[in-house]
Amino acid sequence: MPKLPTAHSNWKSLLLPFIGLLFVFILFTVLIAIFEPDNLEAFLSSRNAKTVITQTVIVGIGALGMTMVITSGGIDLSAGSQIALASVACALTLNAFSGGDPATISVLGMLVATLAAMTAGAATGAFNGTVSCALKIPPFIVTLGTMMIARGAAEGIAKQSQVRTPDNTLQNFMQRNPDPEWLIFAPGVWIMILLLVVVAVTMRYTVFGRYIYALGSNESTARLCGVPVTRTRIIIYTLCGLLMGISGAMSYAFLGSGDPTTAVAKELDIIAAVVIGGGSLSGGKGSPIGSIAGALIMTLLVSGCGMLNVPDWSQKIIIGFIIIGAVAVDTLKNRRQIAS
């Protein structure tokens, strides 16, 4: 009897999303070399690599939260609005902590602002989970409602405009070239990597993580086996919201201001990243590392299309086909597994 780890997480399936990433990378390298050879150097530069990775952070952190939700058989359409709400909450808190002339912000202020962003996201997530479980409304509907509610709340507290803040260190978190230089990547990228490790360990090595897979695979079985279904679901949505909150703080860092109109339809990019990374919308399947690879593929596509001077409209078409193609490959692979 071969000693393998459990079915949903053996080595091959861990690496597979990166094979997809590598494939997209090689494909664009070849295409650019043929059609736009002048841009090849720029595409392969470390500068571009840093840009792509930094631009992945917002969707990537969101995808980590969404991976838990989708693996448990749920969905969260309010992700984009949660990011906007959190970015506004972050900016407003920073302003509350600014003092003196010229205005400065203490480290404590930045910490509290990040916590405020996380709280805004977690509260929205807790609302999603509680309402969906208590009233037995499908999460698709509840989070569709929350998408509007959170967006409206963000616009309301921001008084329908961007929330500008005094300059502060938090704004450097999404700089392509970090200060100090030895960090190589922006602090936001390291935060994403840290969160990836935390979420991956949670899903793979904890009882809670096992419950996520069990719920998504078969809720009836989970209930039968004494899994606290309602409590687990509420925690999943709350954690998802928390991660959207962090993503919102990164969004503030990226834009340098709190923007209630940011991240519109971002939930779709996030869901696409999870699905490209091997997550199944019917639940029971999902991998945090895959989702990050999925998010990287999405950014790489945009970057590559830009270098190819492909117009915006055809970029969209290409990304659309990639999403369908990724899932098709996954489905075919599963069918072959079942056949053998």
Partner 1 sequence: MVERVNTTAAPPLLRLDSITKSFGPVRALRGVSLDIRAGQVLALIGENGAGKSTLMKVLSGAHRPDSGSVEMGGQPLTLANPLAARRAGIAMIYQELTLAPDLTVEENMTLGLEQARFGFLRSQSEKIAAALKLLGAEDISPDQKVQTLTIARQQVVEIARAIVSDARVVIMDEPTSSLSGEDKRALFRVINKLREEGLAIVYISHFLDEIDEIADRYAVLRDGESVGAGLVSESTTESLVELMIGRAIDDMYPRPDHDLGEVVLSVNEVHGSPLPRGVSFDLQRGEILGIFGLVGAGRTELARCLFGLDPVSRGRIELHGNTRMKLAGFRPINALRGGLDYLSEDRKEEGLAQNLSITENTTLSAIRKTSRYGFLQLRKEQATAEELSRKLDVRCSSTSQPVSSLSGGNQQKVALARMIHHDSDIFFMDEPTRGIDVGSKHEIYELIHSLAAAGKSIIVVSSYLPELLGTCHSIAVMHRGALSEKRDVAGLTEHDIMVFATTGKTMPLERESDLV
Binding site for partner 1 (CB under 8 A): 1-8, 10, 205-210, 213-214, 217-218, 220-228, 284-285, 338
Nearest Cα to Cα of residue 69 among 293, 286, 266, 224: 286
Cα Rg for the chain, rounded, in angstroms?
20
Q: Which is nearer to partner 1, 137 or 225 (CB)?
A: 225
We find the least distance from the C-beta atom of residue 191 to partner 1, in angstroms, to be 23
What is the greatest pairwise CA distance in the chain?
71
Q: Which residues of 58-72 are buried (b: 16+ CB within 10 A; e: fewer)?
A: bbbbbbbbbbbbbbb
Residue 121: its H or E element:
helix 107-134
Distance CA 168, CA 174 (A): 12
250's tokens: 């990164």
Shortest CA distance to 236 belongs to which of 61, 57, 8, 76? 76
Query: Can you spell out the DSSP letters for 260-276?
Result: TTTTTTHHHHHHHHHHH
Task: In angstroms, give the least distance from the CB of 210 to partner 1.
Answer: 6
Query: What's the closest the beta carbon of residue 181 comes to partner 1, in angstroms?
Result: 37
Q: How far is the CB of 80 from partner 1 (least distance, A)?
A: 30
Least distance (Å) from partner 1 to the CB of residue 32? 40
Q: How far is the CB of 207 from partner 1 (least distance, A)?
A: 5
Residue 214 or 326 having the CB closest to partner 1: 214
Nearest Cα residue to 254 out of 173, 177, 193: 173
Contact 173, 187 (CB under 8 A): yes
239/277 Cα distance (integer angstroms): 20
Nearer to partner 1, 266 or 285 (CB): 285
Nearer to partner 1, 236 or 305 (CB): 236
The SS3 of residue 320 is helix
Cα separation of 8 and 204, whole Å?
9
Angle at 11 between CA 8 and CA 17, to 5 degrees: 80
* Closest to partner 1 by CB, 152 or 228: 228
Report the nearest approach of partner 1 to the CB of residue 2 (Å): 5
Nearer Cβ to partner 1 (5/325): 5
Query: Which residue, 190 or 208, has its beta carbon nearer to partner 1?
Result: 208
